[in-house]
Amino acid sequence: MKRRTFLAQSAAAGTVLASGLATRAMAADPFKVGYIYVGAVGDGGWNYQHDQARLAMEKHFDGKVKTSIIENVPEGADAERALTQLALAGNKLIYATSFGFMDAVIATAKKFPQVKFEHATGYKLAPNVSTYSARFYQGRYVIGTIAGRMTKTNKIGYIGAFPIPEVIRGINAAYIAAKKVNPDVEMKIVWAYTWGDPGKEADAAQALIDAGVDVLMQHTDSTAPMAKAKAAGIVAFGQASDMAQYKPTPRISAIIDNWTPYYIDRTKAAMDGSWKSEAVWYGIGEGMVKIGEITDAVPADVKAEALKIKDEIAKGTLKPFTGPLNKQDGSVWLKDGESADDGTLAGMNFYVEGIKSDIPK
């Protein structure tokens, strides 16, 4: 194709597109909302949970909202294209549900100032970009308590995705809680270097089981570690979604991401024009983090203790990161009664005292 005709065609296409959008708006068609996922919606964890919330949100608006998705989007150049495709298709609000989409979101948002973007777990804002994340560490503190009580070998295994602040925060929270109820507890950490890859996650789980752990926690998306835990006869916790098919053991409880209320709120705000750019960080209190049913495999007194802690966190009377706490190197981090501020938590790149391994550099 000659360049001139190409440009003429693009211009024509642009006009068609613009007029098409105008007629659509006049006909009061549904408000279009797009989603991109880093993995498959069927992963049973992170992406699945976002997609469930999307469907619930769409149902809530009963025909007034129409959603489209693009799944398995690699982070980087492909993410920018997927976001642009969604914007060009007339979506007015776009949710990007993985940290690695951050720069792509900011770049696309610049090209489409009239489209609103919501980026999960990122830290870059723009006039039409908000960020949202959940205080998963609050949930980790609750299941950390259960883990500390349940372990017989005093070894808890933890599968980390990437050594980034969000994951490190979870490890610290779980360890602090477990150590409070069981001073002899030891945390064994394996890095999978993936958010979701059943093969690698299963390998990580097996390595931890071989090292003698009898309670398994994961910060990766699939149910593969759960299957390994079942085969080894140890207990584990659901991650991101309930993973209820593994009840009552090995899954003895779960941290559930509940995005539905947030998606409904923000979509409504985008529809009625009250949407503002902000950084949201909700926890158990706001209902964004939920604790999945604690099964009967957990003794009643431990269950009661965990639920009490959950309620205190929800009320704000218990903050997981409260002193006296030292960093891994023994230096003082928080003095007695002092609680960590959100800035420190957001950029956390150190272990607390007592964790034996090192953060990969």
Partner 1 sequence: MLRLEKRPMPSRFWTAVTPVLAVILTMVAGGILFALLGKPPVEAIRVIFWDPLFGANNFYTLPQMLVKAGPLILIAIGLSLGFRAGIWNIGAEGQYIMGAICGAAVALAFYPAEHWYIFPLMVIAGALGGWIWAMIPAVLKIKFGTNEILVSLMLVYVAENILSWVSFGPLRNPQGYGFPGSRNLQQYPSAHNADLIPNTGLHWGVVAAFLAVIGAYVLLNRHILGYQIRVAGQAPRAARFAGVSPSRLFAFCLGTSGALAGLAGLFEVAGPSGQLSPDFNVGYGFTAIIVAFLGRLHPVGILLAGFLMALTYIGGELAQLSLNLPSAAIQAFQGMLLFFLLAFDLLSNYRVRWKEHAAKEIAK
- By CB under 8 A, name the binding residues for partner 1: 6, 9-11, 13-14, 16-17, 20, 34, 40-41, 68-72, 74-78, 80-82, 84-86, 88-89, 99-100, 103, 107, 123, 162-165, 193, 346-349, 360-361
Q: Which long-range CB contacts under 8 A does 106-115 form with residues at least 24 apart?
A: 107/80, 108/80, 108/83, 108/84, 111/84, 111/87, 112/84, 112/87, 115/87, 115/91
Angle at 238 between CA 233 and CA 243, to 5 degrees: 95
- Closest residue by Cα to residue 214 from 249, 180, 166: 249
DSSP string, 262-311: HHHHHHHHHHHT-----EEEE-TTTTSEEEE---TTS-HHHHHHHHHHHH
Nearest approach, Cβ of residue 280 and partner 1 (Å): 17
89 neighbors 32 (Cβ within 8 angstroms):
yes
Q: Is 81 exposed, middle or buried (0-12, 13-18, 19+ CB in 10 A)?
A: middle
CB 182 within 8 A of CB 149: yes
Nearest CB to partner 1, comparing residues 47 and 145: 47
Closest to partner 1 by CB, 71 vs 203, is 71
Task: Give yes or no for a contact between 252 and 295, defined as CB atoms under 8 angstroms apart.
Answer: yes
Q: CA-CA distance, 107 to 355, in Å (whole number)? A: 39
Q: Provide, rounded to whole angstroms, the least separation between the CB of residue 106 and partner 1.
A: 9
Rounded distance between C-alpha atoms, residue 310 and residue 329, angstroms: 30
In the complex, minimum distance from the CB of residue 294 to partner 1, in angstroms, rounded to a whole number: 33
Nearer to partner 1, 100 or 261 (CB): 100
User: Residue 61 or 162: which CB sits closer to partner 1?
Assistant: 162
Q: What does DSSP assign to residue 354?
A: T
- In whole angstroms, the minimum distance from the beta carbon of 55 to partner 1 comes to 12
Q: How far is the CB of 219 from partner 1 (least distance, A)?
A: 15
* Shortest distance (Å) from residue 346 CB to partner 1: 7
Nearer to partner 1, 43 or 214 (CB): 43
Asked if 93 contacts 33 with a C-beta cutoff of 8 angstroms, the reply is yes
Residue (85 or 322) nearer to partner 1, CB = 85
Closest CA to 137 of 102, 177, 181: 177
User: Whose Cβ is closer to partner 1: residue 11's or residue 22's?
Assistant: 11
Quick one: CA dihedral 30, 35, 41, 44, positive or negative?
negative
Beta bridge partners, 188, equal 157
CB of 82 to partner 1, least distance (A): 6
CB nearer to partner 1: pick between 13 and 304: 13
* Min separation Cβ 336 and partner 1, Å: 27
